[in-house]
Amino acid sequence: MAGSIATRAAYGAALIELAETHPELVVLDADLAQAVTTCKFAEKYPDRHFDMGIAECNMTGIAAGLATCGKHPFTNTFAIFATGRAWEQVRNSIAYPGLPVTVVGSHGGLSVGEDGATHQCTEDLNNMRVIPGMTVVVPCDGNETRYATEALLNLNAPSYLRLCRMAVDNVTDEIPGYKFELGKGFTMRDGGDATIIACGLMVQEALKAAGMLAAEGISARVIDMHTIKPLDEELVVKAAQETGVIVTSEEHNVIGGLGAAVCECLSLRCPVPVVRHGVEDCFGRSGAAKKVLAAYGLTAEVLADKVRYALTLKKS
């Protein structure tokens, strides 16, 4: 999959492809089929698509009911509603009984852009990560989204898939040996001085930052940690042992997301300095997506600065 595509668009295409061989797949929307790109699935499989209106809690409960009847529902709405408004239903109706429902939070992070702080969800990874038994995935590009959608469809357990609104460059199909596996991060670029662990669209920025640092003689490893939970602890610990310092990068609050998961792992298994790069515990604001990301420091340039700072903390 060459070029650029929003992960929400790649997801919509993946649903149509997978429906042909997975009759258990059904799709539920909360009046946002056009925005979350499930509208084409609705056209091709009208008997397997259900528009629940602006009733996210009801949609989640119905998905749970369908799951008890042998279906694998994918619920779709914006991340702020999927993990905020319907959190209790996700916890009690889906996760508590361990039902195979994939909750899809589209338009996650600051890159929602003009919709502003009310819709720029930077708390969703935390909200979903704390639910027992919940798998949490944040694909970085269209190619990875296709693999993630299939993997979660085949997972007989509750899961959360976070998607973004803006188009992002496809990078995983350019990496030799790339392989997607739930619960396993992938090393996109090797390096020995520091490690950047990123998810979502920050993977692309991490690769750019590593390139900038290489020009200065700094060798930065880049890990695509698409699965936030279960975290690939072995890969994290290996990176900490080999490079001595970690920088995490995510389009999410620095509290409760990828950075928190990495810190929790390393504090017990391999204590090294960890610098978290993300949204600094504040709300977003309205603006063009790339300008908003830049305003909050979610760029390769700022990430490179975080790595330089992290190196000053590295144990000799």
Q: Assess whether 225 and 301 both reside in one domain.
A: yes
CATH number at 187 reads: 3.40.50.920
Does the reported pTM lie above 0.75?
yes
How large is the average pLDDT for residues 116-141?
97
Choose one of 169, 204, 229: the last residue of a domain: 169
Residue 75 and residue 34 share a domain: yes
pLDDT tens digits for range 72-85: 999 999 999 999 99
Same domain, yes or no: 131 and 220: no
Extended strands (E) in the chain: 4-6, 25-29, 49-51, 72-78, 102-106, 135-137, 159-162, 167-169, 186-189, 194-198, 220-224, 227-229, 246-253, 274-279
Reported as a single tens digit per residue, the pLDDT across 218-248 is 999 999 999 999 999 999 999 999 999 999 9
Q: pLDDT at position 315, please?
A: 77
Check whether residue 216 and residue 165 sit in a common domain.
Answer: no
> Tens of pLDDT along 133-154?
999 999 999 999 999 999 999 9
Structurally, the chain folds into a number of domains equal to 2
Q: Is residue 56 flagged as an active site residue?
A: yes
Check whether residue 203 and residue 256 sit in a common domain: yes
Mean pLDDT, rounded, for 123-127: 98
- Alpha-carbon distance of 307 to 119, in angstroms, equals 30
Instruction: Supply the pLDDT for residue 85.
Output: 97
Give the span between the Cα atoms of 183 and 219, in whole angstroms.
26
**Active-site hit among 43, 56, 216, 242:** 56
Q: Write down the pLDDT at residue 271.
A: 97
Phi/psi region, residue 133 (left: phi>0; alpha: psi -120 to 50; beta: rest), is: left
- Looking at every residue in the chain, the average pLDDT score rounds to 97
The answer to whether residue 196 sits within a structural domain is yes
- pLDDT value at 2 more than 90: no
Q: What is the pLDDT of residue 215?
A: 97
Domain around 55 = 4-169
The pLDDT value given to residue 3: 86
Using the 3D structure, point to which of 147, 169, 191 is the last residue of a domain. Answer: 169
* 159 and 210 housed in the same domain: no
178 inside domain: no
As a whole number of Å, the CA-based R_g of the chain is 19
